[in-house]
Structure formats: structure tokens, C-alpha cells
Amino acid sequence: MAANLEDPSAGVLRADNAKLAHEIDNYADVVQAAAQADQAEHKMTIREALRIHKKAVFWSVVLSAALIMEGYDVVVIASFYEQPAFLKRFGVENPATGQLLIPAPWQSGLGNGSSVGGIIGLMINGWASERFGPRRTYIISMLGMIISIFGPVFSQTLAQLTASEIICGLFWGVFQTLTTAYASEVCPIVLRHYLTAYINMCWGIGILLSSGVVRATLTINSDWGWRLPFVIQWVWPIPLILGAYFAPESPWWLVRQGRHDDAEKSVRRLTNNDLFSEEDARKSVANMIHTTAIEREMQNGTSYLQCFRGIDLRRTEIAMMVFAIQLLSGENLIGQGVQFFVQAGLGTVAAYDVNIALNSMFIIGTVASWFLLSRFGRRTLYIAGLVAMAVVLLIIGALDFNDTDASKWASGALLVVLNFAYNATLGAVCYVLIAEVGSTRLRAKTIVLARCSYQIMNIICGIIVPRMLSPTAWNWGPKSGFFWFGSAALSALYCWFRLPETRGRSYGELDILFENKVPAWRFSKTKVDQFGFSAGPPTPADEKASRDSKQE
């Protein structure tokens, strides 16, 4: 094991670099350079990081824009369930009222279609992005996206539309995780939470755009009232393909492929060469080599099965639960905002107007999360967000016992508050956590499995939430807040015991903390020496041992 020793004299967990001799050429020099790079990264201020890594920020923002497309595409279908033109084409008459509606089973099918396709796409991405690299996987998936959009645009039945959503979901699944992994690998520690949390904002921008477009097409009485929002999906792929073509490859992926010289070139493309020299790039890559060696020494293998073995099992469990809790928190009510508002008693136009305010919270909340993440830890924000959402959900459920217009508007306003609380905490922090808890060599697959847990939970919610809100099914309406109150409360309890604090930690430090099975509540206070310098730096004798080990 590479990092299972505790140095009582120093009071820290430290790595035993002598055991890495067979993993690294010239490992004494590599460890020294890695330590210098790590120290510089930990001391870097936000302003310095932005000056040095502004290119990395730019390319991360460009590739993350795929989530704007996905946020728009995935959510737009749920906004159609009360749209007159969509109901005219696909609706079924309610025998009790004579009004057109989309039956709850078909709502489940439409909502879950993209989730089913997404799970398949996620699994493909976990293999393809590690085999071919993030950029090539991104470009090929975008080309597939262009073709798949023809399906929803020209669908004539709910069955055709559902099948089209499944096919589109195959490619959406790729972008859900690839962008998160890329953002976490091209930026320094001090910027990591900004760029990974920004992914949540991209989702929000897409969702806000979809609600605005659907609101604007309410007055179109023909099939173009629902087709036009689908047609707009063709706006995204070509610019994003060009962005991915010119973007630098992830240096971490290049290191895992043994392409160290190419990794240095990539680091140079991602940094300001006037402030970050060739020597700095060499040291940065040395840190990546050292971290990768630690992980290989701890656990061999990079398959999906490895994610469920040894210390990686705990890391995978946390990532999967963090993503699943996004829905267990009651956030799924937000995705059904228009229907929730209509069932609460608001008119159709008013419901779409409030839905725009609701979806704007994705952007406002994410911006708020940047300030909160700088002040508080990931664990603190995630648990606090769950508690806040549980309280709001309880109030929403209680208000439904008072059947007045004021209560109906209050329920709508509280759903907006719920969405702000979600995006300022869980929504943004989730992407930060899943990018940090997995090991670097299994990061893509860990994020894939985490997103799969979300999609599985999304399928379950896609079955029960429409029935909670549909007047022809369970018809709970706002009282469904009681159910999600209990779910959010239990999720907060899980996080208290299992969710660790990853703030300010390098990937090597996190490896050692997990290797030593440090309890979640002790992560923030445990000191770590990932280079083992508390036992003395590597010596020429260590270098000789390294060469002898390789010759044997």
C-alpha cells in the first residue's frame, strides 16, 4: 500500500514514496517536482489562478456549454404537458372534465425515455472517454446529436416521441459526465469549485431558455407551437464541435496514457506562458504522475468493477448517493413546475410566467453558491441545503389544506424559494463533490456511475411524480411536499455520517484520506503529507532502489 502509514511525531497521514519506486522513472526527481507544484497550487490565490489559468477557464466554459444544450433539451418536453398546441396533437380527453391532457403513464414514458437512453450513453462514455480521450468522444457525440434531433421534430405519435427521446438520451448521457471530468482536470484547486459548480448554471441557462421559448410559443396554434422548441436544438452542436476541436486535451488523461510530453504541451496550452514557464508545466505534470502512481499502488485496475472494490467502493457510493440525493431532496417537483402550478390552481399563462421565475433560480442560485463555497465547505453546504429544502417542502404541503388564492400563490412562491435553496447548495455542490471524491484514474467511470444513479432515481421519480400531481391518478398536488420532506430529512441524515469534506484538498491528499478510512466528519481536520516528506525527502539511495526494482 502506498499511503497507509501514520506519522505520530508529525501528526499527519503520509505517503510512503519508497513503495512507488517501481511506478515512476526517476521518481526522486518526480516527487520533488510534484511537491513543489502542489505547494504552489495550494498557495495560489484566486486572482493569481485566473491570471495563470485563464485559458483553462475559457476552454472549460466552452465545453461545459454542452450542458446548456442538454438542460434545454431534457427539460423542454416536461414544459409541453400544459401547452395547447402539444395537447391538440398528443393529448387525450379527460372523461371527467372533457379537457385534453397527457396521461400520467405517457408522461412517465416521455420523461424516462431520455433517462433510459442516458444510462446507456453514460456507460459508453465511461469507456470511450478513457479509450479515445474526452475531446474525440465529445465531437463524435455532437455529430450523433445532430442526427437524433430529427426524431422529436417530426414525431407524430407519443410512441414515436418517446422513442426519439431515448435516442437523444444516448448522446445527452455523454455530456452529463464528460464536461464535469474535464472541468475538474484542467483547473487548479482554488478554481475547481467555480468551474464544476458552473456546470449547474449551464443546466439552469438551458432550462431557463426552454421555459422562455415554450412560453413564447404558447400563442402558436399549429404543430409549430411544439416543433419550434425542438428545432432550436440544432443551434448548439456546430459551435460546440468547433470548440472541442480546438480545445486542449485533458493533461490528466494524457498522463494516464503514458504520454507525459503531450501532457506538458497541453498544460502549456491551458496556462499563461508569460506567468507559467516550461519548468512549471513539468512540475505540474510530475504532480499528476505522482498522484496516478499512488492510486495504482493502492488499487489496480480501471474497469467499472474496480469502482466497487476496496477503497474505491466507498468513493463510488458517496458519488452515487450525492447525485441521487439531488432528486431525493424533492428537486423533481421543480422539473414538473408548470404542472405543479396548474394543479395548485394557477391559470395556464400564469403558470408559465411563474415557471420562468422558477427556472431563473438555477442561475441566481449557482452564482450564490460560488460565494458560499468560498466561505463554507462542501459538506456543510450540502447538509444545510437539505435541511432548508425539507422545511420548505413541509410548508408547501401544509399550505394545501388552506384552499385560497393566497395559499396557491404562496405555494408557487415557495417552489421558487425551494429552487433557489437547491441551486445555491445541492445543485451546484453536487458537481464539485462528484468531481473530487473519485480517484483520478477512475474519475470518468465514477462520475458515470454517479449520474447513472441519478438517472435510475429519475426514472423512479418519473413514474411517481406525474401520478402525485395528475388529477386522474393520485392527485396529491402540493401535498406531495410531505412525502419529499421525509425523503430530504433522511438524505440529510445520510450525509451527516457519510459525506466527507473535500474543500482545499489535492487529489493526492484525498487518495490518502480514503486509503486510511478517515471518517467523513474528520476529513477537514486531518493533516496529510502526500509526498511523505515528514519521513524525509527521497534520497539517491531511493533512486538506486527504484532502478534495481525495475531491473528485477
Q: What is the pLDDT, as a whole number, of residue 191?
A: 92
Give the integer Cα–Cα distance in Å for 168 and 171: 6
CA angle 511-512-514, nearest 5°? Answer: 70
| Spatial contact of 223 and 482, defined as CB atoms under 8 Å apart | no
81 three-state secondary structure: coil
pLDDT at 330: 87
How high is the pLDDT of residue 184? 87
pLDDT band at 32 (very low <50, low <70, confident <90, very high): confident
Res. 333 pLDDT band, cuts 50 70 90? confident
- Cβ partners under 8 Å of residue 219, min gap 6: 225
pLDDT for residue 2 is more than 60:
no
Closest to 73 measured CA to CA, from 221, 237, 196, 223: 237
pLDDT at 275 over 80: yes
Q: Dihedral, CA atoms, 75, 78, 82, 86, nearest 10 degrees?
A: 90
For residue 424, the model assigns a pLDDT of 93
Q: How far apart are the first and last CA of the chain?
A: 20
Q: What would the grid cell of residue 199 be?
A: 456546470
> In the numeric block, which cell numbers belong to residue 373?
463555497
As a whole number, mean pLDDT of residues 441-467 equals 86
Whether the CA torsion 157, 159, 162, 163 is positive or negative: it is: negative
Give the mean pLDDT of 131-135: 91
Q: What is the CA radius of gyration of the chain?
A: 25
Q: Which three cell numbers stand for residue 131?
A: 479509450
Q: What average pLDDT does the chain have?
A: 84
| 339, 472 contact by CB (below 8 A) | no
What count of Cα atoms within 13 Å lies in the side-chain half-sphere of residue 240?
Answer: 29
Secondary structure (DSSP) of 493-544: HHHHHHPPP-TT--HHHHHHHHHTT--GGGTTT--EETT-GGG----HHHHH
Here the cell at position 203 is 443546466
DSSP state of 308: G
User: Where does residue 405 rank: exposed (0-12), middle (13-18), buried (19+ CB within 10 A)?
Assistant: exposed
What's the pLDDT score for residue 552? 44
pLDDT in tens, 361-407: 888 999 999 999 888 889 999 999 999 999 999 998 888 787 777 77
Entry field: residues in the chain: 552
Q: Using 50, 70 and 90 to split pLDDT, how confident is the model at 346? A: low
Residue 468: predicted pLDDT: 82
- SS3 assignment, position 83: coil
Residue with cell string 455542490: 429
Q: What percent of the chain has pLDDT over 70?
A: 88
8 Å CB contact between 493 and 367 = no
Alpha carbons 367 and 389: distance in angstroms, whole number: 18
- The whole-angstrom separation of Cα 195 and Cα 225 is 35
- The one-character DSSP state at 77 is G
Cell of 466: 406525474
Four-point Cα dihedral 525, 531, 533, 535, nearest 10? 90
101 bridge partner residues: 92
174-233 confidence digits (pLDDT tens)? 887 888 889 888 989 999 989 999 988 888 888 888 878 887 888 888 888 888 988 988
**pLDDT for the residue numbered 338:** 63
Burial class (CB in 10 A: 0-12, 13-18, 19+), 300: exposed
479's enclosing H/E stretch is none
pTM of the model: 0.79
Give the pLDDT confidence score for residue 283 in this predicted structure: 93
pLDDT: which is higher, 334 or 179: 179
CA atoms lying within 13 Å on the CB side of residue 522: 11
> Where are the strands (E) in 53-119, listed by range?
92-93, 100-101
Which pLDDT tens digit goes with each residue over 229-250?
889 889 889 999 999 999 999 9
Beta strands in 260-384 (DSSP E): none
C-alpha to C-alpha distance for 232 and 511, rounded to whole angstroms: 43
Q: Provide the pLDDT for residue 181.
A: 87
pLDDT digit string, tens, across residues 7-18: 433 456 666 666
Question: What is the residue whose three cell numbers read 410559443?
Answer: 217
